[in-house]
Amino acid sequence: MQHFPHEMPIVAILRGIRPDEIIEVAGALYDAGIRAIEVPLNSPDPYDSISRLCTEFGEKCLCGAGTVLMPDQVDLVAKAGGRLIVSPDSNAEVIRRAVELGLVPAPGFATPTEAFAAIRAGAKILKLFPAAAYGTGYLKALREVLPGDVSVLAVGGVGPAEMKEWLAAGAAGFGVGGTLYKPGRPVAEIAERAAALVAAYRAAV
C-alpha cells in the first residue's frame, strides 16, 4: 500500500533548524536517500528556511512545512515554494486550503472521527500522531475501516527498529524528527542517522 508521492516514504522533520543550515542538512538527507523534508513552523524564520529548501531541492524532494495550524500559513508556505503541509491536528480549513492550492496535506489524527473528517476535507495522507502512544495494534484495527487509497504515516516514537512492525500493521511510511535531527547535531551524524533510516526501511519492505 504505497500512495506517498515518493518511493522513499520517510519525512524528515527538521524542528528548530535555521535558514543558514537548511541547505547543508537537506543535502546530507538527500544524499542518504531521504526524499521528503518538512520545516516545522515553530522553527526560527521557517518561511526563509522553506524558501531556501524549495529553491535548492524543490524539484527533487517533496518539501514543505510542519506544525501548520491555520489556512493563512498554508498560503505563506505555498508562497515560499512548499508543497507539503503537515499538521499535528485535523483542521478541515487547512486541509481544504492545501488541496485548493494543489499542495499535499498530511494532517495529524488520533481517532477514527478525526481520520474521516480529514479524508472528507480532501486528505489522502494521514499522520498517526503520536504513533508510539497508540501502537501497531491500533493502526491495524483502523486500517480495516480506512479507505485503501489513503496512506497513514506513523509519526512520533518510531525509529529504524520499529519500521517492519509498523509496515506490517498498515503504515505506508514514517515521519522522523528527534531521532534524525536536533539543533546542534553535527551534519555528519545526521547523515549517518538518515542512512540508517533509509536502510531500515528498505530492509523492512
Q: Is residue 27 part of a domain?
A: yes
**Furthest-apart CA pair in the chain: how many Å?**
44
Task: Considering the candidates 38, 56, 114, 189, report the single residue annotated as catalytic.
Answer: 38
Of 127, 144, 162, 164, catalytic: 127
38 flagged as catalytic = yes
pTM tops 0.85, yes or no: yes
* C-alpha to C-alpha distance for 100 and 97, rounded to whole angstroms: 5
Domain membership flag for residue 128: yes
Domain count, the chain: 1
Asked if residue 1 belongs to a domain, the reply is: no
Range of the domain at 169: 10-204
In a domain, 193, yes or no: yes
Q: Classify residue 18: in a domain, yes or no.
A: yes
**What is the reported pLDDT for 1?**
41
Look at residue 5 and tell me if it is in a domain: no
Asked if residue 142 belongs to a domain, the reply is yes
CATH number of the domain at 101, please: 3.20.20.70
Question: Looking at the domain assignment, is residue 155 inside a domain?
Answer: yes
Residue 157 CA to residue 44 CA, distance in Å, equals: 24
Q: What is the pLDDT along the chain (205 residues), one digit of tens a residue?
A: 446 777 899 999 999 999 999 999 999 999 999 999 999 999 999 999 999 999 999 999 999 999 999 999 999 999 999 999 999 999 999 999 999 999 999 999 999 999 999 999 999 999 999 999 999 999 999 999 999 999 999 999 999 999 999 999 999 999 999 999 999 999 999 999 999 999 999 999 9
| Complete DSSP assignment for 55-98 | HHHTTTSEEEEES--SHHHHHHHHHTT--EEE-SS--HHHHHHH
